[in-house]
Amino acid sequence: MHYLRVLVALPSPSGLIVHDTGTSGWRRRLLVGLARRCGRTGHLLLLDVTAEAALEGQRRRRRTLRRSSFATHWRNWHQLRAELSTPDGPAEGWTSIRLLDRPAANRLQRVDIPHR
């Protein structure tokens, strides 16, 4: 249902922020590809926290993963982070990629999305 809402919202002229873990390469590429097809730029904003902080956030939101699913997610996150530090990291069509730690995310006041 989440991605159906994204598909419906993409053609609209207003800005759009999509929440996703970012650890699934095919979903990242799908999102940026759909954005491009709709004349949008894609900007990837990633939150870098410890495993403990991620698990605590899941518990707070009452949206926990099975232990094996979280382990896969965490492995994929470490691979993505390693790729971000290489010169030809996962460009994948993104206009920009930003990595924020928790203190930087806490200071974030707003996200400006340019009009199309």
Query: Of 15-19, 26-30, 31-35, where does mean pLDDT reach its minimum?
Result: 15-19
**115 in a structural domain:** no
Residue 113 has pLDDT above 80, yes or no: no
Tell whether the torsion through CA atoms of 49, 55, 59 and 62 is positive or negative. positive
How many structural domains compose the chain?
Answer: 1
* pLDDT computed for residue 114 by the predictor: 66
**29 in a structural domain:** yes
User: Range of 65's domain?
Assistant: 2-10+19-107
**59 in a structural domain:** yes
* pLDDT computed for residue 42 by the predictor: 87
**116 in a structural domain:** no
**94 in a structural domain:** yes
Query: What percentage of the chain reaches a pLDDT higher than 70?
Result: 96
Q: What is the pLDDT of residues 47-74, one digit of tens each?
A: 999 999 989 988 998 888 899 999 999 9
Dihedral (Cα; 7, 11, 13, 17), 10-degree rounding: 20
